[in-house]
Amino acid sequence: MEFEDTPIGAAAQRATKVLHPGGETLPKPSSRRVLTVANQKGGVGKTTSTVNLAAALALHGLTVLVVDLDPQGNASTALGVEHHSGVSSIYEVLLGELPLADAVQTSPESERLLCVPATIDLAGAEIELVSLVAREARLKNALDGATMDRLGVDFVLIDCPPSLGLLTVNALVAATEVLIPIQCEYYALEGVGQLLKNLELVQAHLNPALHVSTILLTMYDGRTKLSDQVANEVRRHFGEVVLRTVIPRSVKISEAPGYGQTVLTYDPGSRGAMSYLDAGREVAVRGDVTLRPQDTTTGGDSAREEPA
């Protein structure tokens, strides 16, 4: 039996492909792309997708800035950057106490993977932002073109909390694109309809350029009929904005943040790492896609059938 035909050999081959992509570089966008990763429902793989897509893009030669807007700081943890109290963070940036560039850290995973961390101080930012001038545009103003040019950033990925407060509104105002992770499980589309309505409100009143460009199917289990049902339903609703790549349910993906790593570093030979590598490549190669108006309605009870 050939070594590559064994499970260990296959994993080693996959790891080599991830860690040494053979000089393959992804095309730089014609203009910087700013994506907010959002879903009002928790537990859908939002933060996981943010950090692993960022790592995949960086692995292929693009410079990516992750902005952690979740007070829990999970994205900061997964990227291995310091985010204890006292560290310069997005909190000080939003309050205007610090330029964004001064809060940027480089992830130990890659010199092209940057992060503005979130600390526990961010938990009180919702209240403190209420009284500030241009409270909805604090992040947009911080992400000015000159700063991003100086850092050489190609992509900005913003990870926000699973709620529509001022932090999430700031993320939506700062971005032009929205990436929505949807898990291949029961009630997959629950909350997505409301999210789209909220996006329309932000688009109408604060950010006309905002649009859904990417939907990523997560937690896919090929052993169940349900995952296929959900995937088909989502593709039927949203069409071409849904990535062809799906992210499998994976223990390795879940374990990686506990070691301060993305899955691409924690277990580069895993199916999860390969899937995020493919998803990142797809995001970069296909460019910005706009969700058609007829795709913006979802049936509230879709994708809830019991598997046969």
| 127 is a domain residue | yes
| 64 is a domain residue | yes
- Residue 130 is part of which domain span? 32-288
307 has pLDDT over 50: no
Task: Look at residue 21 in the predicted model and tell me its pLDDT.
Answer: 57
| 305 is a domain residue | no
pLDDT tens per residue across span 139-172: 999 998 899 999 999 999 999 988 888 999 999 9
Token pair in block for residue 115: 């992060």
Burial call 161-189: b when 16+ CB within 10 Å, e when fewer: bbebebbbbbbbbbbbbbbbbbbbbeebb
Task: Look at residue 9 in the predicted model and tell me its pLDDT.
Answer: 54
5 has pLDDT over 70: no
| 244 is a domain residue | yes
Give the CATH number of the domain where residue 55 resides: 3.40.50.300
pLDDT tens per residue across span 195-217: 899 999 999 999 999 999 999 99
| 124 is a domain residue | yes
| 308 is a domain residue | no
Token pair in block for residue 265: 């570093």
Token pair in block for residue 296: 């913006």
Higher pLDDT, 126 or 57: 57
Query: What share of the chain in percent tops pLDDT 70?
Result: 87
Task: Look at residue 305 in the predicted model and tell me its pLDDT.
Answer: 39
182 and 215 Cβ atoms separated by less than 8 Å? yes
